Amino acid sequence: MFDPKDIIENIADNVRVTHNPFGLNKEGFNTWWKEVDVPATGDALLFTGLMYQLVPYIKAATGYLEKYEDKPMAKYLKYGKFIPKTVANMGLQKIASQDEKLKTATTLGNMVKILKASDVSFFYDHDLDEYSGVLLYDLGDQEGFENHARFVAKKLQSAGIKKLITVDPHTTYALKVLYPKITGISFEVQTWFEVADLAGKAEHGEITLHDPCFYGRYLEVSDAPRAALNKAGVNCTEINNNGSFTNCCGGPAESVSPKLADEVGLRRVAELQATGKPIVALCPICMVNLEKCGADVVDLSSVLVDAI
């Protein structure tokens, strides 16, 4: 395990300076929309919270963390925040996989296709799309999270945003539950699969859904992806630990202990694989960790998009 202090202070510094946990230049990693025909006007802002876009960097960084966990080199991690952000940015851009960046663009592009086919009035503005800061909340840096939340909420409020469509559970929880309490600014927040309305015939007939903890327990929206799947002609083969009693994928431990994340993730993968059906995830963090633990996982958007 890494010293959480080293990890947290690095992430907190990155969020403070660049508004994202990796210290990246947003223009360099939030590029998916350039290849997608996404509406520029509409009622609700598609607010990705940049989580899917960070997947290539999460994977790359985790690979390095795995190498150094519990090794003498781990103690040098605390000096990471002294590396100039431009240098760290260039390094991360170099090690992040191009295939993963394309996968991210495809996943978000599929969500756009589904929303359009569902006649949802929405738009995307890359300038308004920001990281929610939720990792700081999870890690216990409440001060850092609150400062960042105020920055994001005020930015959205100044742009006149009232409605948000979110794409991952962590951002959804932050915007729907935490922001109103902390910033006093509320938005009408719905996930993309709650507003999706596709009646068709998807390619997958039967799947097993991995409920993310934040959708299953904290937000209690586990029925919504099942309803969307059923409407698209897809049945869910259920496992015991689902919905509000879903089991964690292990992903949240990734930054402080990849070993621990693997240990928890392997147990969850065994539960999911027991049905023998394709495994479907609806959270980028779950996706990363379940895949790392050997599961063949697809995103919910890639299943539903077939029904168009």
Binding residues vs other proteins (CB under 8 A): 1, 3-5, 8, 138-143, 213, 217-218, 244-248, 250, 252-253, 256-257, 260, 263-264, 267-268
- Comparing CB distances to other proteins, the nearer of 4 and 28 is 4
19 — phi, psi (to 5°)? Answer: 70, 15
* Residue whose token pair is 């394709």: 278
Which DSSP letter does residue 24 get? -
* CA dist., res. 238 & res. 303, Å (int): 17
Q: How far is the CB of 49 from other proteins (least distance, A)?
A: 17
Using an 8 Å Cβ cutoff, are 108 and 299 in contact?
A: no
Q: With respect to other proteins, which residue has the nearer C-beta, 16 or 103?
A: 16
Query: What minimum distance in Å lies between the beta carbon of 189 and other proteins?
Result: 19
Least distance between other proteins and beta carbon 138 (Å): 5
Rounded Cα–Cα distance for residues 189 and 211 (Å): 19
Report the alpha-carbon distance of residue 11 to residue 198 in Å, rounded. 39
List the end-to-end C-alpha distance of the chain, in Å, as a whole number. Answer: 45
Least Cβ distance, residue 4 to other proteins (angstroms): 4
CA distances (Å), origin 193, targets 131, 182, 287, 304: 20, 26, 17, 9
> Residue 34 in contact with residue 116, Cβ under 8 Å?
no
Inter-residue contact 18 to 136 (CB < 8 Å): no
Distance CA 199, CA 294 (A): 32
Shortest Cβ distance from residue 240 to other proteins (Å)?
A: 13
- The answer to whether residues 138 and 144 touch, using CB atoms and an 8 Å cutoff, is no
8 vs 60, beta carbon nearer other proteins: 8
CB nearer to other proteins: pick between 39 and 243: 243
In the complex, minimum distance from the CB of residue 45 to other proteins, in angstroms, rounded to a whole number = 27
Place of tokens 């663009």: 105
Cβ atoms 47, 165 nearer than 8 A:
yes
Q: How far is the CB of 270 from other proteins (least distance, A)?
A: 12
Cβ proximity to other proteins: between 193 and 215 the closer is 215
| Cβ nearer to other proteins, comparing 288 with 307 | 288
If the CB atoms of residues 24 and 139 are measured against other proteins, the closer one turns out to be: 139
